[in-house]
Amino acid sequence: MVAMEAGLAVGAADSRAAEEPEGPITSGGTLFGSVRERRSLWTILSILFFLGFVVSTLVVHSERNRALDGVAKLARDDAQLLTATLTKGQLTKPVTGSSYDELAKKIGKTLTKGSIVGVTVWSSQGQILFSLNESLVGTTPPEMQPLIIGIAQGSGGTRVLDDTVQTFLPVSKTPGGPVAVVELDQPYAFVEARIGSFWSMLRLAFAFGLVVSLLLLGLTFVSSRSLARAPEDAERLPEGDEEADMEAEGQPEEQLTEDLAPTVEEDLQVLQPDLDDAVDQDVDQDKDLAADIELQALVRRREEFKARAKDAKHRVKKLEAELHTAPSAPKSEQ
């Protein structure tokens, strides 16, 4: 009956243990769920910031191209006005002497003031026929010659070089006559002034948000690895504690007999050399932690054996006293 009740009690305890969730797993699941939620949030924000950065970059690029086209159009209009002041001879050979001074004055009055910082007239073969820098007149820069020859055979073009917008336009006084190329230089600041600052600032904000969101997204992966190792460490700890408890438990009490005391003493004698060695090793316990643990175990076992030996001797003496005081058995009658 008692065994049946004990079995029912154990079964009920096992049922309750099975129904109750384990603490580390629940805690770990909650933490991992939170990490997954944060990871999803930063992933979505990173995508949104990236799309915003791409869109704002396209808008800024489009506005810059539009502003550059506007500045180039102004330069082409000035180039047409400049062509009207040039004679047919000035489009074929370098302008020098008094002709240079007169042409420089006309160009200064014709061009838009403040927007033009450089004027160069090239022949179709890449020779400088006129320049605001008089020392360059008559030279043929080899690095510019292929570009000028190509433009003279085309319809012109614009490029940005060293914060300067260079606009090239082929001109001719008569159809089929000699062709010259007029180059007008303008500061790139004129282009920047035509671009709205809103989209540029918005693009910068999107870029900053993208960097921050990617950084926080990366931190979620680092934190998830740390949390993944925590439950494993928690699972190892109970096992170690259980083994320590099992080692700390005393041996089951054995049946004491008259020869128990000598047996215990023999065990003590067997353990004594190991105990002495362990005591000698204790001097160097800072270098060998395992020796210290072994020493403590041996001391604990010696104390247990001493206690058992003392108890055995006490029981032997008690049995001997009972044997001496017991009345002798009556002899059987013949």
For a pLDDT cut of 90, what percent of the chain falls above it? 19
Identify the CA nearest to 181 among candidates 36, 94, 70, 79. Answer: 79
First to last CA, the chain: 50
Q: pLDDT at position 298, please?
A: 78
- What gap in Å lies between CA 334 and CA 87, rounded to an integer? 173
In terms of pLDDT, which residue wins out, 284 or 8? 284
Cα dist from 128 to 71, 140, 318, whole Å:
24, 6, 133
Q: pLDDT at position 146, please?
A: 92
Assign 248 a pLDDT band (cuts: 50, 70, 90): very low
pTM: 0.49
pLDDT greater than 60 at residue 321: yes
Starting at the edge strand found earlier in the chain, the sheet holding 179-187 runs 128-131, 118-123, 179-187, 164-172, 157-160
Average pLDDT over residues 66-77: 87
Assign 5 a pLDDT band (cuts: 50, 70, 90): very low
Average pLDDT over residues 76-87: 84
Other beta carbons within 10 Å of 219: 13
Q: pLDDT at position 20, please?
A: 46
310 token code pair? 């003392």
For a pLDDT cut of 70, what percent of the chain falls above it? 66
Q: pLDDT at position 256, please?
A: 40
In terms of pLDDT, which residue wins out, 296 or 149? 149
Average pLDDT over residues 11-29: 45
Ordered DSSP codes for 46-112: HHHHHHHHHHHHHHHHHHHHHHHHHHHHHHHHHHHHHHHH--TGGGTS---HHHHHHHHHHHHHHSP
Any idea which fold 55-197 has? Beta-Lactamase (3.30.450)
Q: pLDDT at position 123, please?
A: 92
Average pLDDT over residues 180-207: 86
CB-based burial, 185-201: b 16+ in 10 Å, e otherwise = bbbbebbeeebeeebbe
Average pLDDT over residues 285-294: 61
pLDDT greater than 50 at residue 46: yes
Average pLDDT over residues 290-302: 74
pLDDT greater than 50 at residue 100: yes
Average pLDDT over residues 173-183: 85
Q: pLDDT at position 21, please?
A: 45
